[in-house]
Chains A and B, each alone.
Chain A
Amino acid sequence: MTFKLHRRTMLRGLIGGTAIALPLPRLLGMLDGNGTALADGSPLRPRYLTWFFGNGADPAHWVPAATGIGDAWAPSAALMPLAEFKPWLTVCSGFNVVVPAIYAHKSAPAAVLTGAQAMQGGDVQLPSIDQLLAPIMNADTAFPSGLHVGISNVTGAGALDFNISFSGPNAPNPPNYSPAALFASLFALSGSLEPDPSLFRRKKLLDAVSADAAELRVKLGAEDKERLDRHLDGVDQLQTQIDATITGADCGMPIDPDVAYPDRGADGEITRARCQAFADLLVFALSCELTRVATQVFSCAACHAGYPEAGLGNVTFHEDFGHRLSPMGVDYGTNGFHTGVEYTMSCLAELLQRMRDTPDGAGNLLDNSLVYVTSCVGLPWDHRMDDFPMLLVGKAGGLFRGDIHHRAAGDSTSRVPFTVMKAFGSPAATFGDAEGMTGDAIPEILA
């Protein structure tokens, strides 16, 4: 026998006061008269996303010719696919990875994501920037540690595995490569469904699992306790999501990737349609504040995948173009590398376009977000770590000026994520460790 109850009956009758309140989508009606704060006077909370692509960029192709604000600068060839987002664009050039180059393909991505050296076996020493922000701005959402998605699932020379988000050493947040799976999660949370009795059964099971874990926990050493606690965080997150499913306000429906992009390619393939599918879903989740923190890895550090849609053949982009080892010669390699970077940026543009076109408060989602775009290397064929590719896109609710090319004179790359951290209200005085540590923000790029 199954039974069906009206959503509100369910809410009151079955779980009553135990339901937790999740943030509602930020519609204009919920804001104050100016659209600059919530109706109760609390400030708008911006969203954050790390967008990572492997294999770096050629500064000659990437760095805009002129520096300055507004009309003073124009996008470079590599950034032309982002030209329509110039008002939201902060190009940070002239920053160098100052962490020693110990591990090819590891030291640099670890430095720009965590501010510290990599470990050969254990990936990173410190949490990545998104995981520093999550506790201060995302704890009350359905995905407290954020949403983490990926386009390519091809490995990269043993770099940081597939990961760009780390809660700490040996605690990665691996990307989800399946738009269909993410759609299913978000659809359940969208508030557009009648809650199902199976939700309550799932909660019972998770309660039993938590009880098992609590009994096991007391027998464990310190490191195992940490690992089990992280497992329990996941159990708690599921419980939260079930509550959110039951109580969530109606956000409308996320776009079903199987309907919109039936021919998008297999999970893990690099295609524009897969970028579009994830862009739809990320924008839905961020807009509805199901999470305020997310990461997207287009391709992992030193990724060995190919970019067939960019006309670059079924070869590994890393070898043939990143290292210019194509049998067609060095010039072909250089040009193909530039083509691949432009293609990569055009896939990023799919996300930015949807953010700009999604109303949020008095403006749009791009106004109220910040996207940190970076890579694993500078000029790839020499494994350079200077003049590193770093962009910030969006204004984070007015915290960032936008439309600026700021060029540093070889400053530490850590200054860029540190600036983001401080802008988002982190109380931390520094970011990173050892050579990579900084307490120096970049005032020029802030509003």
Chain B
Amino acid sequence: MRRRARPSFDLPFGAALCLSPLLGCYTGVSGRGPGAADDAGSTGAAVDDGGTPGDSGEPGDDAIEVDAPTLRRLTRAEFTHAVTDLLGPVTLTTIEADAMQEGFFSVGAARVALSPAGVGAYELALDGATAEAFADPTLAAMRVACVPTGAADTACMRTSIAAFGRRAWRRPLTAAEQDRYLAVATDVATETGDGLVGLRHAVWGLLQSPNFLYRVELGAPSPEDDGRVKFSSFEMASRLAFTLWSTVPDEALLDAAEADGLATAEGVAAQVDRMIADPRARQGVANFVGELYRLWQLDEKTKDAVAFPEWTPTLKAAMRDELIARVQDVVFDAPGDFFALYDSHQVFVNNELARLYGLAEVEPDAMRAVTLPEGSPRRGLIGSALVLGLNSLPARTSATERGQFIAETLLCKTVPPPPPDVDVNLDDNDGGGGPVEHRTLREKLEPHRENPACAGCHNVTDPLGLALEHFDTMGRYRETDLGLTIDASGELDGVPFVDAAELAQLLREHPDAPRCLVDKLYTYTAGRLPFDNEDELLVAIEAELGAEDNRFDRLLHAMVTHDEFRFANPAGSVLAAEPSEGP
């Protein structure tokens, strides 16, 4: 079986990750600086296709083969954004679901194949969307360069197909491709006697083409760059637009590509500043944090309707809007240290969310920034209703899920799945019919932390999650848990904290937080986990983030202007499995 540099956590429980009581699940951030190579089970483990664990305990025992750049199918969000940019606000019927891998749809999009039924779903969605956009000449004129005056207006159809095709496919059509879609347009125009209907069919076809539905960014070997695979200017336009805007390039970016202006680092940098200042960058950042914090999962999140009648669709929408508003604020509206997000006293509320946060209602009822009082136990991202509510169960909190969010999403610690055959029963009584004796979640979770099979992971997750026990399953503050005193103290990497507010501060200051954010953004951007040999690059990007006062817009800039974003390794390049940096 071919070994590839596709880092993976495909390690069975009880294998490398949790065998050592010293390492436990606490593997730390992959490949981070001196000594990182000793972290068995860090993301560099070579794993073969069959899912059998690689011998990750001995880095360097295997050469690994690098994947060539791969096609990435547009995620549902990218597809929706792109179609909206191309056709205006149209109704789209359901297309095939994204696949989540390594925590990101963007990674699933690079690995998982569309099903045959999914092709039909695209055809149907684009049928409706193009019919809507081309319903009359006035509407169509907003979307194409030229609206045909009749069935024989071939010149106009050709112009429109060329311009629409360049935008949709992120490159000019070849002569053969133009002719192919012009033939569709003229055939249908002749049959129906309507040039606009003909053009609409050509557009419907252009959008069903793999050249639209997949990001075709394959690069070509560049002799002046040691044979490395270099992305063309048009491929760079596509990479920049999907990374920064979560949609197709605009005309200005394509014009820059047409002039081969994205072949150099300087040319790219010039566009990147413009793109980050563009409102579409907000869409791009929202899409990244939407995947990172799993905002999509809120839709299906239910709470016990009797105990938590406040859990309504409108509350959920407010929770989601708040999280996006918090991020947009620190990235765009008042650009500053991104990690202020982790311990900020500022929340955004409408009246429904204000009630949940115990804040005053105001008129008019609109989303607004409110600063919580100094000393409030609610601080930062981990105090947001979204993080608290999403990582909880219907009737009660989950210290394990909340702790896992902190450990995995904010600090990039690896928490493997639980072992099978576990007793997950945390109920107060044992069904014996005796009087119910209520216990705190901390008490109920003690057995997990005492049992060696569970302790490796629960020692990571539970102390972090238990710090949030003052917030119920919806994220509402509570003084006690059914009358029992809540102990929210704990420690993070040996540093003690007394409550959630102190934990929030520790997260903001945690030395792993910047590298974790870099790794997450890199994974999202590349559509794969970082390779071991990219550690140096990630260290450099982390340094750049630090030098730019931890500003996320500058991190985005660094992420897409480094040389590696313009190049890829040729397929089959062989790398040492060992991380490349010295001791």
Contacts and interface: CB of A to CB of B under 8 A. Distances in A.
Most chain B beta-carbon neighbours within 10 Å: one of A154, A223, A381, A385: A223
Contacts of A121: 8-10, 101-102
Contact of A382 (B96, B101, B421): B421
Given A2-B192, A148-B117, A231-B114, A209 B420 contact: no
B429 A329 contact: yes
Nearest to B111: A170
B113 A316 contact: no
A205 B119 contact: no
Nearest to A433: B50
Interface string B306-342: 1100000000000000000000000000000000000
A103 to B, nearest CB: 5
Contact of B393 (A176, A204, A230, A325): A325
Interface of A: 1-2, 100-104, 106-107, 117-122, 125, 143-145, 148, 153-155, 158, 161-162, 167, 169-174, 176, 178, 181, 185, 197, 201-202, 204-206, 208-209, 211-213, 216, 219-221, 223-224, 226-228, 230-231, 233-235, 237-238, 241, 267, 304-306, 313-316, 319-320, 323-327, 329-331, 333-334, 381-385
A110 B419 CA distance: 16
Contacts, number: 235
Contacts of A102: 12-13, 420
A50 B218 CA distance: 39
A234 B184 contact: no
Contact of B429 (A161, A306, A330): A330
A405 B188 CA distance: 61
Given A172-B112, A314-B302, A204 B208 contact: no
Interface of B: 8-10, 12-13, 49-51, 67-68, 70-71, 93-94, 96-97, 99-102, 111-120, 123-124, 177, 180-181, 183-184, 187-188, 191-193, 201, 204-205, 208-211, 213-214, 216, 218, 297, 300, 302-307, 393-396, 417-431, 436, 571
A294 to B, nearest CB: 12
26 contacts: A103-B420, A104-B419, A119-B50, A119-B51, A121-B8, A121-B102, A125-B50, A144-B116, A145-B115, A170-B111, A173-B116, A174-B97, A178-B94, A208-B181, A208-B183, A227-B71, A228-B214, A234-B117, A315-B395, A319-B393, A319-B395, A323-B424, A329-B427, A329-B429, A382-B423, A385-B420
Contact of B116 (A145, A319, A320, A330): A145
A155 B192 contact: no
B394 A320 contact: yes
Contacts of B297: 155
Nearest to B6: A121
A433 to B, nearest CB: 8
A169 B114 CA distance: 12
Given A209-B208, A316-B302, A325-B424, A122 B113 contact: no
A243 to B, nearest CB: 14
Given A174-B96, A325-B427, A304 B300 contact: yes
Given A174-B97, A306-B302, A316 B119 contact: no
Given A161-B100, A327-B395, A201 B425 contact: no
Given A174-B97, A209-B205, A314-B302, A234 B118 contact: yes
A316 B184 contact: no
A233 B116 CA distance: 6
B116 A237 contact: yes
Give the 8 A-B residue pairs with the shortest CB-CB distance, closest first: A234-B119, A101-B420, A330-B431, A234-B116, A119-B51, A314-B305, A205-B205, A227-B113
Contacts of A122: 51, 101, 111
Contact of B117 (A155, A176, A316, A320): A176
Contacts of B431: 329-331, 334
B395 A320 contact: yes
B428 to A, nearest CB: 8
